[in-house]
């Protein structure tokens, strides 16, 4: 996909992009119900964190997302792949802020990666006067992350200490969020963002539209968080259960699904991260309408 040459009617500033990323984080945790995930009603399948843990973490990360956007906005090299190492360093510092705010609890590591990456892409486009459409951001992310999986998983079989993502890759060949980013977030572009727009166009509240959208994500994406905590068979059962809800989605059925995952100690954290990505792309595509 090629970036549009049409300038944005009012180019976004890095500060505003950071504000939208923060809004996406706060909105994601506020959506209720979210099966197995922290929401306003309960802590999902988590025993070490709750709604207010996420609020503290998000507040600590506010400046980080502006930094991601500034890095993209000011980037001038013709090879956008060189921007990724820059934002990875910003991400490392952001994780330190998160852990300091939460006393070592991982609330937002996945969202730091994805929302940080997309904030940098939005900043890059805004700096060039280009529209921050989902398609433009998708293609920019794909170009920036070219070769990411090959680089990150090179020699991983010889490592003595593995991350959860590396273990899932070795055992199942699933590359998770890295492949999603390298492909320009196809789950969001082709599935969850059109789904969210569809639900909103039907007059659903933002909360319910996002709750239904989460179920769409859970039905499609392989959630490495579930696989690493349980196994691939469990991840497939969750996908099938989500798919069964999509045909006739109701909030009541999602509440039932929430209870099922909490009882089984299953947390689809990867799907939650993609929900935040979905909402950020919606915000960036029409800042006047949704903010």
| pLDDT over 60 at 5, yes or no | no
Kindly report, residue by residue over 8-51, the tens digit of the pLDDT.
Answer: 444 689 999 999 999 999 999 999 999 999 999 999 999 999 99
pTM for this entry: 0.92
Residue 79, Cβ density class (10 Å: 0-12 exposed, 13-18 middle, ≥19 buried): exposed
The pLDDT value recorded for residue 154 is 82
- CB within 8 A of 187, min separation 6: which ones? 180, 217, 220, 221, 274
Our CA angle for 249, 266, 152, nearest 5°, is: 105
Asked whether the beta carbons of 171 and 165 are under 8 A apart, the reply is no
Looking at per-residue pLDDT, the higher value among 192 and 151 belongs to: 192
Among 17-21, 152-156, 257-261, 270-274, name the one with the lowest average pLDDT. 152-156
Kindly report, residue by residue over 198-214, the tens digit of the pLDDT.
Answer: 999 999 999 999 999 99
- CB within 8 A of 15, min separation 6: which ones? 66, 69
The distance from CA 18 to its chain's CA centroid, rounded to whole angstroms, is: 15
The pLDDT value recorded for residue 289 is 55
Asked whether the beta carbons of 279 and 189 are under 8 A apart, the reply is no
Joined tokens for residue 25 = 């984080």
Tell me the C-alpha distance between 170 and 230, whole Å: 15
Domains of the chain: 14-150+161-290 (1.10.4200.10)
Residue 9 Cα distances to 12, 126, 162, 263, 286, angstroms: 9, 10, 46, 49, 11
CA-based torsion, 58, 63, 69, 72: positive or negative = negative
Kindly report, residue by residue over 66-107, the tens digit of the pLDDT.
Answer: 999 999 999 999 999 999 999 999 999 999 999 999 999 999
Tell me the C-alpha distance between 113 and 141, whole Å: 12
């Amino acid at each position: 996909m090629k970036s549009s040459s049409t300038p944005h009617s009012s180019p976004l500033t890095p500060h505003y992009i950071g504000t939208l990323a923060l809004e996406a984080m706060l909105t994601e945790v506020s959506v209720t119900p979210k099966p197995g995930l922290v929401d306003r009603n309960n802590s999902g399948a988590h025993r070490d964190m709750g709604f207010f843990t996420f609020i503290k973490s998000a507040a600590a990360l506010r400046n980080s997302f502006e930094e991601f956007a500034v890095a993209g906005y000011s980037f001038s090299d013709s090879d956008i792949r060189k921007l990724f190492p820059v934002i990875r360093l910003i991400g490392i510092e952001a994780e330190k802020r998160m852990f300091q705010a939460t006393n070592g609890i991982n609330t937002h590591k996945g969202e730091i990666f994805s929302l940080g990456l997309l904030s940098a892409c939005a900043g890059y486009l805004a700096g060039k006067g280009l529209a921050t459409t989902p398609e433009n951001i998708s293609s920019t992310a794909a170009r920036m992350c070219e070769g990411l999986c090959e680089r990150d998983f090179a020699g991983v079989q010889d490592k003595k200490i593995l991350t959860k993502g590396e273990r899932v890759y070795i055992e199942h060949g699933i590359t998770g969020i890295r492949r999603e980013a390298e492909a320009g977030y196809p789950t969001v572009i082709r599935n969850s963002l059109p789904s969210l727009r569809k639900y909103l166009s039907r007059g659903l509240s933002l909360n319910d539209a996002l709750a239904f959208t989460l179920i769409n994500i859970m039905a499609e994406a392989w959630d490495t968080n579930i696989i690493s905590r349980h196994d691939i068979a469990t991840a497939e059962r969750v996908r099938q259960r989500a798919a069964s809800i999509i045909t006739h989605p109701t909030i009541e059925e999602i509440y039932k699904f929430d209870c099922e995952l909490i009882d089984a100690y299953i947390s689809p954290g990867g799907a939650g991260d993609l929900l935040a990505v979905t909402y950020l792309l919606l915000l960036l595509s029409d800042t006047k309408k949704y903010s």
